[in-house]
Structures are given as C-alpha cells and as structure tokens.
Amino acid sequence: MPTALITGATAGLGAAFARRLAAEAFSLVLVARDEARLAESAGQLKLRYGVDVETLPADLTTDEGLAAVEARVRQGVDLLVNNAGFGHHGRFPDVPAADEVRMLKLHCEAVLRLTLAALPGMRERERGAIVNVASVAAFFSRGTYSASKAWVVNFSESAAADIGDPRIKIMALCPGFVRTEFHQRAGMDTAGIPGFLWLKADDVVREGLRDLALGKRVSVPDVRYKTIVALGRLVPRGLQHYVSSRIGR
C-alpha cells in the first residue's frame, strides 16, 4: 500500500486529504500538534476505511517537531502533503514579529525541509508526489500570508522544473475561501465574504488530486477562482493591491 504523510491532518483541508487518500487505500501518517485529536482522527479513519494510520504529534514551527517529521519522511513516503498553515488576525505591520516568523517557519521552512527530506527516496524509487498547499492569496496582496503562499507556488514550480522528472510530481494547490477552522482560529470576521465564494474542503481536495494526476504544477480548484485569478492578472497592479488587501480581512 502506498503511504501518504499529511501535515495539519486533523482539521479542514488536511482532514479532507486524509479521508480521500484513505478511501484510495493509502496508509496514512497524520501530523498535527493536538495529540488527542490525532488519535481520534486515526481511530475514525481506521474504522471507516480499514487502512493503517500512524500519528505523529509535532509542532512544525519548532526544530524538534520539524526534525521528527523529517525523520519519518526520510523513512519513505509516496505522497507528501504539506498542508499545515494558519492565518493572522490583523494586517501588516500590526502583527507581532514573532507571529510573522512563526508563519514563515510553517508555510516556508517546513515545506522546504520536508520536500528535501522526501525527494531522495522518491528519486531512488523513481516515483512520488508532493502537494504543497498554497492559496489563491498567492496571486494577490494580503500581507505576510500571501507573500508566504506566493513563495510556496514559486518554490513548487521551481522544484518541479529543477527535478525535471515527470514521475516525481510537485504541485502547489491554491484554494480560495474554504469552510474549515482556519478563519475562526485566526479570529477573522468572515461576515463580509459572499456565500458563493466558499468552497468545500472535499471538493478542493478532489480537484487538487485530479490536477496532480494530470501532472499540473499549480492547481486552482473551481471555475470561480480560476476566473478571479485570471481577472486579477488583467487589473492594474496598484488597483489589484488596493482591493485585495481590503477584502475579507
């Protein structure tokens, strides 16, 4: 059975990845900080899908946590999903510097180091896949969050180009607004976000995995967000920056 390691696997998109991959008979390694919740998720997945599920409690913003997950990835995984992430309440430069750095550690350093840990085994086996969860925000201006997700998109495309082996797929997944715990955890007020802009985590994961199978390097699920990204590229950059830094913050 192939093995998938998913970071941030206990909620939202990560939990949707876990359900979908378990249904496709992957053995799973679930990573998140909350140990009790990890055990609960693992129990449910084993019961429902009959697959092997390991849990690895780790805070990926700490050196020990990241090293523990790197070590597990080096043992060999067929699919790595770098999904764990969070948003800030407030805008630059009001967010405390320590919180900005924590975000860069999770969104950039962890993605870089886990990708580096996964690649030698994948190259040896001449197969494997890495999904780095970015965001539609990567194409707009929303403080350190969008900057870190722009890094994820560019990094994924650059790594895929440098590896240059279609048997090893590396893709950035760029969802729009998804109903998860993300906004509540960040203390964001979502009242101003129109209903039609909300996506379901299961739909995002299904479309993302389909794009991965097709060999895409960047996946923007749903026609609504494909349109928004395309229009964003047509609007003058100054106007785009002004509007995107104000919507849904």
Ligand X SMILES: NC(=O)c1ccc[n+]([C@@H]2O[C@H](COP(=O)([O-])OP(=O)(O)OC[C@H]3O[C@@H](n4cnc5c(N)ncnc54)[C@H](OP(=O)(O)O)[C@@H]3O)[C@@H](O)[C@H]2O)c1
| Residues involved in catalysis | 145
For residue 130, list its beta bridge partners.
Answer: 80, 170
User: Checking phi first, is residue 12 left (phi over 0); if not, alpha (psi -120 to 50) or beta?
Assistant: left
225 part of the interface to ligand X, by CB under 6 A: no
Q: How far is the CB of 9 from ligand X (least distance, A)?
A: 6
Distances (CA, A) of 166 to 78, 194, 220: 14, 39, 20
Which is nearer to ligand X, 24 or 104 (by Cβ)?
A: 104
Instruction: Give the Cα separation of 113 and 101 in Å (integer).
Output: 16
Instruction: Give the Cα separation of 22 and 143 in Å (integer).
Output: 35
Instruction: Give the Cα separation of 62 and 47 in Å (integer).
Output: 32
Taking contact as CB under 6 A, which single stretch among the options 43-51, 88-96, 174-182, 225-233 is the one that binds ligand X? 174-182
User: Which residues between 70 and 129 bind ligand X (CB under 6 A)?
Assistant: 83-86, 106
153 part of the interface to ligand X, by CB under 6 A: no
> For residues 192-229, b (16+ Cβ closer than 10 Å) or e, as one string?
eeeeebebebeebbebbbebbeeebbbbbbbebbeebb
219 part of the interface to ligand X, by CB under 6 A: no
180 part of the interface to ligand X, by CB under 6 A: yes
13 part of the interface to ligand X, by CB under 6 A: yes
Q: How far is the CB of 195 from ligand X (least distance, A)?
A: 14
Q: How far is the CB of 96 from ligand X (least distance, A)?
A: 16
Where along the sequence are the contacts to ligand X (CB under 6 A)? Answer: 7-14, 31-34, 37, 59-61, 83-86, 106, 133, 135, 175, 177-178, 180-182, 185
